[in-house]
Homo-oligomer: A and B are copies of this chain.
Amino acid sequence: MSSPEQHKDTQIRPVFFVSDGTGLTAEAYGKSLLAQFPKLEFTTRTLAFVDTQKKAVEASNQINAAHLRSGLQPVVFSTLVDDKEQDIIEHCDACVINLFHTFLGPLENCFGEESAHTQGILRTIYGEDSYQVRLDAIDYSLSHDDGVRPDQYDEADLILVGVSRCGKTPTSLYLAMNFSLKACNYPLIEEDLERDTLPDYLLQYKHKMVGLTIKPVPLSKIRRKRRPDSEYASLNVCQREIQVAQKMFDKAGIPVFDTTETSIEEIATYVVRALGISRERTGFV
């Protein structure tokens, strides 16, 4: 039988993200803090829409139950706005991190003004227009994916160019969804790569264009999943396409980003910075 010490080491600590909204902020923030404890194991759960005292009591019951089951004090990241609900959560036998209240005081001091201290306030400050701008951007990006309708690129906020499977589509969609940008993408295929330069109809948009590249070995691996044993996926072809594309990017003088082992978020953040786009992120909560 393992000693209590050993048993404790293998225990998984319950973590809760509690919010009166979607819980996105609590999760993202909480997880980035937990990541600083890579030796520990956690099991996480988001309790969203906890916007009444009754729901706060239900949440606290779940937290206490997790404590009993695991034998470990849970961690609770809370962005609850309502004081009474927060109080209910703080009465759990848990380590409660109050993401909302902690910084409100310092901000009130900085501004010399009291906060509204109101639940659901984010929803009221985003108007109908913001929603529509975002949906229009998603519509545009979907219907201009993969080189479709380059005759409509006047309307695009930005164009991603690169060889097949270097991350153009997911990044375009991410930019549409999270920045409300009409992002489209153009794949460099065989016939494009036989020329010296990017096509003229693309070059006129180089002020809003970013080249995406990737290392040949990972590209070959990705392509092999889609078309195993193909020329398309062979290391030779991948190397050649990447080199030719890079020359075209250099000639056009557009910024280039290497997407090897980077997340969609990182690629998107780079693209927005490289093009000097000041559009705000539009994630709603």
Contacts and interface: CB of A to CB of B under 8 A. Distances in A.
Interface stretch (A153-161, A243-251, A262-270): A262-270
B269 A113 contact: no
Nearest to A81: B36
Contact of A107 (B75, B104, B135, B273): B75
B28 A265 contact: no
A69 interface: no
Given A170-B177, A261-B128, A29 B29 contact: yes
Contact of A284 (B39, B49, B263): B263
A103 B31 CA distance: 12
A116 interface: yes
Contact of A285 (B32, B36, B107): B32
Interface in A192-215: none
A1 interface: no
A29 to B, nearest CB: 5
A44 B278 CA distance: 9
Interface in A115-145: 115-118, 121-126, 128, 131, 134-135, 138, 142, 145
A64 interface: no
Contacts of A124: 38
A28 B138 contact: no
Nearest to A95: B110
B116 A36 contact: yes
B177 A173 contact: yes
Contact of A131 (B109, B117, B263): B263
A22 interface: yes
Interface string A21-57: 1111101110111111111100011101100000000
Interface in A141-180: 142, 145, 169-170, 173-174, 177
Given A174-B177, A266-B284, 13 more contacts: A22-B265, A28-B283, A28-B285, A36-B118, A37-B113, A38-B121, A40-B111, A45-B278, A49-B270, A95-B106, A102-B103, A142-B169, A265-B284
Interface of A: 13, 21-25, 27-29, 31-40, 44-46, 48-49, 73, 75, 79, 81, 95, 97, 99-100, 102-104, 106-107, 109-111, 113, 115-118, 121-126, 128, 131, 134-135, 138, 142, 145, 169-170, 173-174, 177, 261, 263-266, 268-270, 273, 278, 280-281, 283-285
CB-based closest 9 A-B pairs: A263-B284, A95-B110, A36-B115, A22-B269, A25-B28, A22-B265, A35-B122, A35-B121, A36-B116
